[in-house]
């Protein structure tokens, strides 16, 4: 049996049950497939006097250690400067904060592999640690490293690729992310392993009665790159043809106020419902209800589990060409792909789905079959263990 040390600053805790849930799902399946796994989730250090601020209080309340669904998780503190200042040095600060905890773990848990999630800061900290423990290092790129970190400054870019050069194996969660790598020596050790779902978690009998003859749904953070404004503008082009269409928006974020104003300006208040941020269990109830289309025209998406969650419910799904979801969706076969930031293309596609119900239903069914065959955490764990076996040899 392999002993695997997973290090990720994105991981659930008793205070935040959804942060990095995708890493937790993978860890659970790795354990189910015979790996011994312990998790280290570094948490930014916050002085006690800042506990009066809700955001900082949440960090203080995270325990030093917890057991989540049978997974032993450690939460050491490290120094972090807010707003990404000195991001290029964050991996070194993280190393200083976690090295003592790693040492204690190693005394009773001689790990065979370190699996770091993100290159900066976690991969950088793991790279320094690995010079002591000399075990194979796997680094998973989820999107932030390539979509934000390498663009921040030259030092950040340099340190990201320094980590990738050191790693024994690189995993990207989509081909979109793999294609960012141009150096052949890095490509040769890079493999795409898509994220997945646990289909058994979506077997929900309880549904929510949704208003509207036609129902559109999106689930995301309400930030600019998710393209929720594009959905709203597309809806304004369709509402005359489909006056009884309802668009349910699940999520919250910095664009919430602007999106609500846009709805008012376009006279769509009776067609758009903002549900805010909901627990995952409630999100699944909406997805399992009567939805005609799931649309998330996000133009900066490393992969996007929410797409395959919707596909698993047989909903016709709209994603964006050139994004991570292209690994899953074949246009008009098991889903729909539209041009980025193209309201007309988006509106035409929604119109097709609503006006060709039989064809859309078949495409939705094909999407569900695709997810069940290839995009589960079970398949993800199998492929990840194959990587462990390869580098341990």
Nearest 5°: CA angle at 312, between 41 and 242? Answer: 120
Residue found by looking up tokens 């119109």 in the block: 351
Burial 304-334, CB ≥16 within 10 A → b, else e? bbbbbbbbbbbbbbbbbeebbbbbbbeeeeb
Q: How far apart are CA 117 and CA 140, in angstroms?
A: 5
Average pLDDT over residues 6-12: 97
Q: Which residue has the tokens 């006097």?
A: 49
Residue 241 is predicted with a pLDDT of 97
Q: Which CATH class is domain 3-196+376-392?
A: alpha beta
pLDDT value of position 84: 86
Which range has the worst mean pLDDT, 157-171, 190-204, 226-240, 361-375? 190-204
Which residue in 300, 293, 341 sits closest to 317, CA to CA?
A: 293
Minimum mean pLDDT range among 222-236, 280-294, 337-351, 363-377 = 280-294
| Spatial distance between the Cα atoms of 318 and 208, rounded to a whole number of angstroms | 22
Q: CB burial class (10 A; 0-12, 13-18, 19+) of residue 234?
A: buried
Per-residue pLDDT, 55:
82
Burial of 286 (0-12, 13-18, 19+ CB in 10 A): buried
Q: In whole angstroms, what separates CA 60 from the centre of its chain? A: 25
Residue-wise pLDDT for 75-87, tens only, equals 999 999 888 889 9
Return the DSSP state at 331.
Answer: B
Q: What is the mean pLDDT of residues 13-33?
A: 94
Fold match between domain 3-196+376-392 and domain 200-374:
yes
Task: List the single range of 24-33, 48-57, 319-328 with lowest mean pLDDT.
Answer: 48-57
Looking at per-residue pLDDT, the higher value among 290 and 134 belongs to: 134
Q: Which residues pair with 43 in a beta bridge?
A: 77
pLDDT tens, position by position, 118-171: 999 999 999 999 999 999 999 999 999 998 999 999 999 999 999 999 999 999
Q: How far is CA 48 from the centre of its chain?
A: 31
Identify the pLDDT of residue 60: 94
Question: With contact defined as beta carbons under 8 Å apart, do 93 and 76 qualify?
Answer: no
Average pLDDT along the chain:
95
Quick one: what percent of the chain has pLDDT higher than 90?
88
- Better-predicted residue by pLDDT, 249 or 203: 249
Q: What is the pLDDT of residue 202?
A: 85
Domain ranges (residues) in the chain = 3-196+376-392, 200-374
Rounded Cα distance between 60 and 128, Å, is 26
CATH topology for 200-374 is: Rossmann fold (3.40.50)
Integer Cα distance of 173 and 189 in angstroms: 14
Pairing of strands 65-68, 71-74: antiparallel
Report how far apart, in Å, the C-alpha atoms of 311 and of each of 27, 92, 184, 305, 347 are: 23, 40, 34, 10, 20
The answer on pLDDT for 37 being more than 90 is yes
Query: Which of the 8 DSSP states describes residue 225?
Result: G
Q: What is the mean pLDDT of residues 195-218?
A: 89
**Range of lowest pLDDT (193-207, 210-224, 325-339, 347-361):** 193-207
- Of the candidates 258, 263, 221, the one whose C-alpha atom is nearest the C-alpha of residue 246 is 263
pLDDT of residue 250 exceeding 90, the answer is: yes
- Whether 349 has a pLDDT exceeding 90, the answer reads yes
Q: What is the mean pLDDT of residues 295-312?
A: 94
Q: What are phi and psi of 153, to 5 degrees?
A: -165, 170
């Amino acid at each position: 049996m392999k002993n695997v040390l997973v290090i990720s600053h994105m991981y659930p805790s008793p205070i935040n049950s959804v942060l990095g849930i995708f890493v937790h799902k993978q860890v659970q399946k790795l354990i189910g497939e015979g790996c011994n796994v312990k998790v280290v989730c570094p948490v930014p250090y916050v002085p006690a006097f800042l506990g009066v601020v809700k955001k900082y209080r949440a960090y203080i309340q995270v325990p030093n250690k917890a057991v989540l669904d049978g997974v032993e998780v450690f939460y050491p503190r490290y120094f972090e400067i807010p707003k990404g200042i000195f991001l290029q040095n964050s991996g070194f600060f993280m190393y200083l904060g976690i090295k003592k905890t790693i040492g204690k773990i190693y005394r009773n848990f001689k790990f065979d592999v370190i699996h770091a999630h993100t290159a900066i800061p976690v991969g950088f900290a793991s790279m320094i640690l690995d010079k002591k423990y000399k075990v194979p290092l796997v680094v998973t790129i989820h999107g932030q490293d390539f979509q934000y970190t390498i663009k921040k400054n030259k030092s950040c870019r340099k340190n990201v690729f320094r980590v990738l050069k050191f790693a024994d194996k690189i995993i990207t969660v989509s081909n979109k992310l793999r294609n960012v790598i141009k150096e052949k020596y890095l490509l040769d050790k890079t493999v795409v392993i898509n994220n997945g779902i646990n289909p058994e978690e979506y077997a929900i009998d309880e549904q929510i009665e949704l208003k509207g003859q036609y129902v559109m749904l999106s689930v995301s953070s309400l930030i600019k790159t998710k393209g929720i404004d594009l959905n709203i503008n597309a809806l304004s082009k369709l509402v005359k043809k489909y006056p009884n269409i309802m668009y349910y928006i699940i999520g919250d974020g910095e664009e919430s106020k602007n999106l609500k104003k846009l709805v008012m300006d376009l006279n769509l208040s009776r067609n758009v419902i903002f549900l805010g941020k909901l627990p995952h269990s409630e999100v699944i109830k909406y997805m399992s209800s009567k939805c005609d289309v799931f649309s998330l025209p996000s133009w900066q998406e490393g992969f996007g589990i929410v797409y395959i969650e919707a596909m698993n419910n047989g909903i016709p799904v709209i994603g964006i060409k050139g994004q991570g979801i292209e690994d899953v969706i074949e246009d008009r076969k098991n889903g729909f792909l539209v041009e980025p930031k193209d309201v007309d293309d988006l509106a035409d596609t929604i119109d097709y789905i609503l006006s060709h119900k039989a064809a859309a239903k078949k495409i939705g069914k094909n999407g569900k079959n695709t997810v069940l065959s290839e995009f589960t955490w079970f398949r993800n764990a199998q492929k990840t263990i194959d990587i462990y076996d390869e580098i341990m040899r």
